[in-house]
Amino acid sequence: MALRRIRLEGDPILRKKSRPVEEINERIKTLLDDMVETMNDADGVGLAAPQIGILRRVVVIDVGEGPIKMINPEIIEVEGSRIEIEGCLSIPNKAGTVERPERVKVKYLNEEGEEIILEGTGLLATAICHEVDHLDGILYTDKVIEYVDITAEDEEIEEE
């Protein structure tokens, strides 16, 4: 496994649309492992492949219950809404409130190529939406309601 360099806002690759994975081979599995390592190293709750310069529909998420690796994720159902503070590993030292669904259902392939349907609420739902947006070149700053002061020490910011 290896750490990958996280691309920062302003890098045009973050605005491109990622292509679906057609074959789950060793390269894709290595990519997923490297993404988990890079996310953990940066203390993030999620990372999408374009954030490390790879335009493939692959994301990793860890909201504190262990890493979830998603290949070709697709949000198939959304319900409710919540407004929470979001950050992004590609946009350091910044955070803002974003409205997201309270509950989402996502369909994806795992490393074995099995189709998984996962339901997420709260932070997990937010992370899924945030990461899937990255695959379409969308950043949370496109949807931000209001930026918040993250110098306040008691504020817990989850970077995705």
CB 21 within 8 A of CB 28: yes
Size of the site for Zn ion (CB under 5 A): 2
**131 carries an active-site annotation:** yes
Window of 7-15, 16-24, 55-63, 85-93 that interacts with Zn ion by CB under 5 A: 85-93
Q: Which two tokens stand for residue 65?
A: 């219950």
Give Rg (Cα) of the chain: 15
- Candidate residues 39, 88, 98, 129; the one interacting with Zn ion per rule CB under 5 A: 88
Helix and strand element counts for the chain (H, E): 2, 8
User: Does 160 engage in binding with Zn ion (CB under 5 A)?
Assistant: yes
Q: Which two tokens stand for residue 144?
A: 């931000």
Shortest reach from residue 155's CB to Zn ion, in Å: 18
Q: Which of 135, 132, 126, 133 is nearest to 159 (CA)?
A: 126
Nearer to Zn ion, 24 or 75 (CB): 75
Nearer to Zn ion, 72 or 90 (CB): 90
Which are the catalytic amino acids?
131
